[in-house]
Chain A
Amino acid sequence: MPSDLIHEYMRIDHLPQIWCAGCGNGVIMRDVAVAIDQLLKDEEYDFDRDDFVIVSGIGCSSRAAGYLDFNSIHTTHGRAIAFATGIKFANPKLKVIVLTGDGDCSAIGGNHLIHAARRNLGLTVICFNNHIYGMTGGQYSPTTPNGDVAATAPYGNVDRPFDIALLATGAGASFSARGDVFHARETTEIIRKAILHDGFSLVDVYSICPTSYGRQNHKGSAVDMLQWQKENLIPTAQFHAMSEQARAGKKEIGILAFNDYPEYTDEYAKVIEACRKQTGGKGRN
């Protein structure tokens, strides 16, 4: 029941949210809340709600931190992963979830994304990827498709785009996945697994932005954009059953990289342990 979820996990006083009509961000925020709800209610795990920390940067995506009723910190543009690194490393028992956008995490914050992936520090990064700078009014981002029109690409985007899930994979992420707004159930399950993953996890979730991206590029209504996701973003099992030819122009929704690498805070705990042994159990202040 969506309404129960709102009352339990959203800050009612701060709703309605600021996103435009037809925006996909609310669906992704809900997916995150459902995934956390499932984990909190799952008897197999012993999660405390106060252990969840939501960290965001700047942009449309990042307003989600203010709506979710957990410890939350809305940081500076591009630096959410770096703030989250400090929080998680300081207190590894916290479940730190970064809510970011395509501009926030792959343009201004791209360096932090690749280094967090490389370190394998146990953060969960959820990228609300709307393929545009929405809040500032539709300028092209590092994920805007080549040739698309944007407020700063009136003649078509000359840049070649990033695939953020593959970027994280290339940077050594132990968990990298792609989701979307249309496949909300599948995406929620991916997010749940990402939070459970012991190490760095990234979920690149394709949002829809009918206002700042869709309108400029004649993508139709929000429903039309969801229809496009339904037809072109294909869950893993189905995607792998398709012929090479049928896959053309389509993308896989699912977990793209999954590796059991040592987690950063666990490794550093070993350093502390070794130092303590060397200094006879107590360090000189």
Chain B
Amino acid sequence: MAKAVLMQGNEAAVEGALAAGMRFFAGYPITPSTEIAEKCALRLPQVGGKFIQMEDELSSMAAILGASAAGYKTMTATSGPGFSLMQENLGYGMMAEIPCVIVNVQRAGPSTGLPTSPSQGDYMQARWGTHGDHPVIAFSPSSVLETYTLIIRAFNLSEKYRTPVIFLMDEIVGHMREGVVLPDPNKLKINPRKTSFHDGAHKKCYYVPEGAFVPSMKPFGQGERYNVTGLVHDESGFPVNNSAIADKLISRLLSKIDDHVDDIVRVEEYQMEDADTAIVCFGGTARAAMDAIEAARAQGMRVGMFRPITVWPFPEKPLKARLPQLKRILMVEHNHGQMLLEVRRAVSGAVPVDFLGRIDGTVISPAEILANLNEKEAN
């Protein structure tokens, strides 16, 4: 039987990434994500991979895009202020369709905020941080083991959809230590990069064949001389100033995610079968929510948890499917009400949606959630 190991979330992110085939990391130290860079510096050369500490987060993001264009599975890790600095190049990765994974271990903001304190205040930034209309896939783990397995999925979908994937952790999970039994690496499903659609007859590196939804150019140096740009480009990868081509490109970038939401979206539903009240939460907040649910059920309340694992695109369909049985939704998150906006949009007034949040850098306790549930019950 596999042995349990004691590990923190940040370490699990590294081990999961390595299992997914990540062999290039560029980053800049920032609390509370720094252990990820430290562990990459230690582990990558052991497996023939590369680690580089860049001069800032702008260049870290640029370096992982460059290395990915050269054929590597790449990753960077940061926290709020660094994530802000990465936004322009993140958009470049989306536009140029370069796979990579960006870990943001959220801390309390805005600005320098509370560097060592937990928060989930970058939820909307993960969706809308970079400029322009763009596709986003973002995942948020709630345990150390899930950090390991979910980051593998982040790499897989990054390759499948040829887009940067945001791995939205929080300080709670990043620094939490748990005993975990890691899955057998031989049984993991790992997506390699597709580089085989070309017939070599033309140089249209951004050509998308019938039935596919992403292009599949070879890495630099493997015999296809093509151009990559952040400008609006045609199928050959060259900039054009043509509204029809611009519309076609941006529409495809958006629809490659929008048309595959069911493939991308994952949720955890805990004690939802008979629930008339759903706590919606994500990431580390789920730990307090599950404790509160146990206590509430002991008091006879029928409460369950609906947890988006895929936080972008927001899991609208599975949430709507639960609405007929619900009398109330309580959104619990470590911010001033960000996912709340998505939940209210999805629910469209069908069920009252209440909110319990925190912006003071402390953790929401099970007792607080229970108190909120009791208060409503009493009314």
List residues of chain A with CB under 8 Å of any chain B CB. Answer: 11, 14, 49-51, 53, 55, 65-66, 69-76, 78-79, 81-91, 93-94, 111-112, 115, 268, 271-272, 274-276, 278-279, 283-285
A74 B59 Cβ-Cβ under 8 A:
no
Digit string of B24-68 for contact with A (CB within 8 Å is 1, else 0)? 101000000000000000010111101010111011101111111
A285 B67 Cβ-Cβ under 8 A:
no
A73 B67 Cβ-Cβ under 8 A:
no
Stretch touching chain A among B115-123, B222-230, B293-301, B313-321: B222-230
Smallest Cβ-Cβ distance to B95: which chain A residue: A76
Measured in the bound complex, the distance between the Cα atoms of B221 and A53 in whole Å is 8
Measured in the bound complex, the distance between the Cα atoms of B63 and A91 in whole Å is 12
Digit string of B187-225 for contact with A (CB within 8 Å is 1, else 0)? 000000000000000000000000000000001111111
Measured in the bound complex, the distance between the Cα atoms of B219 and A275 in whole Å is 27
B55 A275 Cβ-Cβ under 8 A:
no
Task: Provide 10 A-B residue pairs closer than 8 Å at the C-beta atoms, listed in order of the A residue.
Answer: A66-B239, A70-B225, A76-B92, A79-B89, A81-B59, A82-B59, A87-B67, A112-B62, A275-B46, A284-B47
Stretch touching chain A among B70-78, B279-287, B366-374: B70-78
Measured in the bound complex, the distance between the Cα atoms of B146 and A85 in whole Å is 32
Measured in the bound complex, the distance between the Cα atoms of B71 and A71 in whole Å is 13
B229 A73 Cβ-Cβ under 8 A:
yes
Given contacts A74-B228, A272-B48, A285-B47, contact A53 B220 (CB under 8 A): yes
Smallest Cβ-Cβ distance to B100: which chain A residue: A86
Q: Which of A14, A81, A82, A94 gathers the greatest number of chain B CB atoms within 10 Å?
A: A82
Digit string of B224-238 for contact with A (CB within 8 Å is 1, else 0)? 111111110000001
B63 A89 Cβ-Cβ under 8 A:
yes
Measured in the bound complex, the distance between the Cα atoms of B66 and A111 in whole Å is 18
A51 B221 Cβ-Cβ under 8 A:
yes
CB-contacts of B312-341 with A (<8 A): none
Q: How far is the CB of A247 from chain B (nearest CB, A)?
A: 35
**Chain B positions within 8 Å of A70 at CB level:** 225
A-B pairs with beta carbons under 8 A, tally? 151
Q: Which of B24, B55, B72, B92 gathers the greatest number of chain A CB atoms within 10 Å?
A: B55
B278 within 8 A of A: no
Measured in the bound complex, the distance between the Cα atoms of B68 and A91 in whole Å is 10
Smallest Cβ-Cβ distance to B92: which chain A residue: A76
Q: Which of the four size classes fits the interface of chain B?
A: 35 or more
Measured in the bound complex, the distance between the Cα atoms of B64 and A93 in whole Å is 18
Q: Which of A82, A90, A272, A285 gathers the greatest number of chain B CB atoms within 10 Å?
A: A90
List residues of chain B with CB under 8 Å of any chain A CB. Answer: 18-19, 24, 26, 43, 45-48, 50, 52, 54-56, 58-60, 62-72, 74, 88-89, 92, 96, 185, 219-231, 238-239
A85 B66 Cβ-Cβ under 8 A:
yes
Measured in the bound complex, the distance between the Cα atoms of B71 and A94 in whole Å is 12
Neighbour of A76 across the interface among B68, B225, B230, CB < 8 A: B230
Measured in the bound complex, the distance between the Cα atoms of B50 and A285 in whole Å is 14
A91 B71 Cβ-Cβ under 8 A:
yes
Measured in the bound complex, the distance between the Cα atoms of B225 and A53 in whole Å is 9
Q: Which of B71, B92, B231 gathers the greatest number of chain A CB atoms within 10 Å?
A: B92
Q: How far is the CB of B233 from chain A (nearest CB, A)?
A: 9
Q: Which of B56, B63, B92, B219 gathers the greatest number of chain A CB atoms within 10 Å?
A: B63
Q: How far is the CB of A184 from chain B (nearest CB, A)?
A: 25
B47 A91 Cβ-Cβ under 8 A:
no
A115 B238 Cβ-Cβ under 8 A:
no
A285 B74 Cβ-Cβ under 8 A:
no
A76 B185 Cβ-Cβ under 8 A:
no
Given contacts A53-B220, A73-B229, A91-B70, contact A86 B65 (CB under 8 A): yes
B221 A91 Cβ-Cβ under 8 A:
yes
Neighbour of A284 across the interface among B26, B46, B231, CB < 8 A: B46
